Structure 1
């Protein structure tokens, strides 16, 4: 067998690189940090379609934006809802305030219209009286009413406009011109009472329609019943006015000329009474005000009923015509209409007071809501800014935590590697879970012991640093080679190297074969290694094997070690200490197991050196036979040409690459 230069194996390179990487804490690259954050966020679970849209890694700009949007959405949604509700309440309060103001304006306009209606009614009555009984005194009555009507028209605060207004009443000036034209033609054309009533009543109906339209276009809210009652009083006042005008004609002419006039009188009287009762039904306030005002003028009730009964009897003749009676009827009905007018005005004032109070409350509500809304507009940006700042800090903190977590994981892996070097992995995992690890008896195992021949003399020729480097390189080579076998390295003490198979993982009887093959591999490898600082000087290894039962357990708390106990350990150590350089001494127990497995070449040791050891004699009951393990059939060593040998320390301390022949031989 020729000696060759030792070539470094890939396995040893990997172990060397791994060891180097675990001794230093490198800063995280963006990809490593990204992975760490994804681990923290549990993003390794089954992804859904929503994940790509709704979730993101806060290390990336897109992820930061997604996280920021989610955080701001949590705050902005309720803020926007509150803002919307406040704005809606504000709009409603403003609308109610404006509506109340419009209704109040309408009430004042209706009072002005009521005054105009009364003056037109007075003019209508006097015109009917004049037409019924043309005399200078009736003409004077009529002329006294013209300025009052003109003044009432001029006093209207506004003149209604619209597409449905009759042409004669489009403007204030046109209506005055229309009235004056009729007044001038009164003496020219022979007008009848019916014509006068129709002329003025048509104008009054237009004014009433204006009032109805104005009220229907406004929102009267909680006072709508009072407003309806107010309208009904105005209408009833107009109907009573028509009754008064027809009554004036009745007494001035001494009766109705036709039955139609009589029926028209009765119709207006009935409609007036029904309309007024409707007003009293809609509003208790109107009913109470009417009773109060009527109580002040009770003297007109009886005369009015008397005059009505006379008209209803309709048995007057022209000879009974009396301007005096007509005036008394007119005056009494005017007093009664005054009661209605005062009721109307008092009701209007009551409605206005209610609306004024409501407007004041609405104004206070608007002011309060404005303050709240202003506070919201100020606080919302502050909240958004605070959430934005907090989210940014959280993102920075998460990145910091990810860095620390990644570093902690790297340190944990490094610690695990060191722990697995001290203890078997299965035992270490149980200790990490805080489980008790009891000592365990193993009935079948094979123990390997080795040490360096002449280590004391080599150490004497070397510095401490050279000795440490030499052992590190040698054991690194051994560790790389034993990884392919079903064995566990128990410990290294100085130049001693201890390995076991069958512990802690039981493998039947394969433990002897695994240790035997490994021992041959290490001997083959050691023969080609030179001591780095002593060129030309090769390592020599003494190996001993023994099979038997052992007790295994963890010893120590501060520095726990996995230790083996029993006679088998002592005998294996004796096999090594009484052995020869570059030879493998095995007990007959191990030899029997290897024979069962087959393929191993062994020869018996002929000298009596082992038989002189009392401990060995006691262990084997006086029958001691040991053997040299020489070779195994099919075992192929990776021996190169001897000329390629190098004494370079870098190469001398590294193991050769494993050949395909050795790997193909490993037991299955």
Structure 2
């Protein structure tokens, strides 16, 4: 009685809590049903909609500001690169003028060298006049404007004395100016970021430095040939410039494949490369046959051709950088346009969204009233669906499928497989209509399905009159699978043999059964109508046991007999060696009975087998 009172108290308490929840829900529904409640709810929803819109507008405004800054920076870098192409031409002609000046001084004022020098000076002046702007350097003073630099060059040229001016002084005059110009070009690399192709800009800068070092090498080499030898100081200077030029060029190739490919195509394997290598070796050993201005001009022309190749590569790389920068600019411009469109669209769509939210809120209130009933119906339908799925697949497998867990094929070391079919099924079908066959099989399988609920077995499938079951999977049951199938087979054989065919009075069912024990692989096959299928030699042998069995008999294999020996209550009789199709000669057995069945022969079979595994009659 105490337990009964306690249960009643718990139920009452539970009912009280449920009633309180229902009242709260009712009050909440009443608030929403009033005009004030609906307006408050609508204002809340509109507020939730407005906050993201405002956040989006602010975020895009910040993004527009950042994109505009990046856009301006990219345009600035692009302008410097475009101007560097023009200023690079000036550097190129200054380098040529530097080499020609060194050759002129080393030749002692040779008329031939002077003629060449005047021509190179005109090229330098033309490139200076063609510039669309000027580099932004406040010091030294001659770089403050283009006119100041032109006057600076003119003063140096007018005061050049091939007798009193040293080659080193001439080279340093031009090299200092070129160094400042190249340093200004390199500043564009420092102002760039990862979005503006910094690798290409670095390669461009390294190429300019290599070209400058090659220009000094050209000037020193001309001096060598004009004089026939080098003093040790000049030889070290030449070696330094040659090494630096090669190092900068190597770095440029490491940062850009374009430099490497163009250099290979135009120089590396050419006759010019071979001739320059030979002349460089001659300079490095500091041994010329004799002083010759002509030899100096030949060296100068060869090095000029090499520097021209570097200039061509420089221009190509500059175009590639400009294309990359233009692409980045287009992307940033597109981002700015998209952000502006988003902001404008958000502002324009705001009243539309408010109206739509208002209408949607009205529909939601109407829909919420019917949602509870629909939820209950859906839950009931879900349970029916799950039960249907549990009839098609093992429960553990079905739950894994519903949770979207992959079903991998699984190996089972030892299970027992059952096959049975109806004796004379073809003859029975010939006496029956299709509708009668369906009803007949349904009655028979309903009886069997009801009996197998008492045993630890899984119904795999039925095909026509064939019935397949297994024990030991998908949940393993140690060594109980053989006894479970054996007990079930004896039960089914007894029940079916007592049943009559519905539409053929006086004629009883006869079935034959085959059992085999062994290993199988099980898995889900198919997606439209997934089935839990078994594969392996064990299944084939079980099917052969059934097909070679006799009416009203249970045919078992040697492996099943060995497993049943752990359960001595079964009566097994050798059948002998028979030929099994595809397997050869096999020793098989008949499963006859179980000890409890014989002891309880006075009981009804249906009552005996309900608890025959755990009780004694």
Larger relative contact order (CA 8 Å, sep ≥ 6): 1
Bigger-Rg structure (1/2): 1
Length-normalised TM-score, structure 1: 0.46
Length-normalised TM-score, structure 2: 0.50
